[in-house]
Amino acid sequence: MSNGFIVGNRILDIVLVALIAAQTLKFIVTLIKEKKINFRRFLDTGSMPSSHTASVTALATSVGIREGIASVLFAISLVLAIVVMYDATGVRRAAGKQAEVLNKIVANIKKKEGHSIIEENLKEFIGHTPMEVFWGAILGIVIAFFLS
């Protein structure tokens, strides 16, 4: 598989394009919503669209196109995609909500007692809403079909 255009592996290249496109869209969405440039959006997790989802759906779609949907490789890729999407909306989203609550508790303690029990806030935006995952999936599938 040497017909890739970035790293020499066409399927891996498609996954990288989907990841970069999703992270770029996060940057643009943040720029529009907050009306300020935030370069951290290129590397941050969470937000719209899910780059993890875009990556794994691009992987599964491109493997399905190249190897066929009856192949073992497609089955593995599809199961991986489902697990990643479930995790993004389940475990990681719950962890983000818990971090939000813990940050509020720490802020209240600091306000009342004058000192903090942790040096910096926990990261709150690590999971995704179902809509963020949905649009990440659409992005990954479209990119895979376009580039395959």
In a domain, 37, yes or no: yes
In a domain, 62, yes or no: yes
Helix (H) or strand (E) holding 28: helix 10-34
Mean pLDDT of residues grouped by 10 in the chain (148 residues)?
Answer: 70 95 86 74 70 95 96 97 85 65 70 68 65 93 95
**Using an 8 Å Cβ cutoff, are 10 and 62 in contact?**
yes
In a domain, 17, yes or no: yes
What is the distance between the terminal CA atoms of the chain, rounded to a whole angstrom? 13
Q: What single string gives the DSSP state of each residue in 112-137?
A: HHSS-SSSSPPP---S--HHHHHHHH
Quote the pLDDT of residue 82: 94
Write out the residue range of the structural domain in which residue 120 sits: 91-126
C-alpha distance from residue 71 to each of 11, 65, 78, 120, 141 (Å)? 15, 10, 11, 47, 18
- Domain co-membership, 116 together with 146: no
In a domain, 86, yes or no: no
- Domain co-membership, 40 together with 75: yes
SS3 state of residue 2: coil
Distance separating alpha carbons of residues 79 and 93, to the nearest angstrom = 20
- Domain co-membership, 106 together with 44: no
Name which of 50, 54, 57 is nearest 132 in CA terms: 50
SS3 state of residue 61: helix
Distance separating alpha carbons of residues 124 and 146, to the nearest angstrom = 34
How many domains does one find in the chain?
2
- Domain co-membership, 51 together with 120: no
Quote the pLDDT of residue 42: 60
Quote the pLDDT of residue 83: 93
Distance separating alpha carbons of residues 67 and 77, to the nearest angstrom = 11
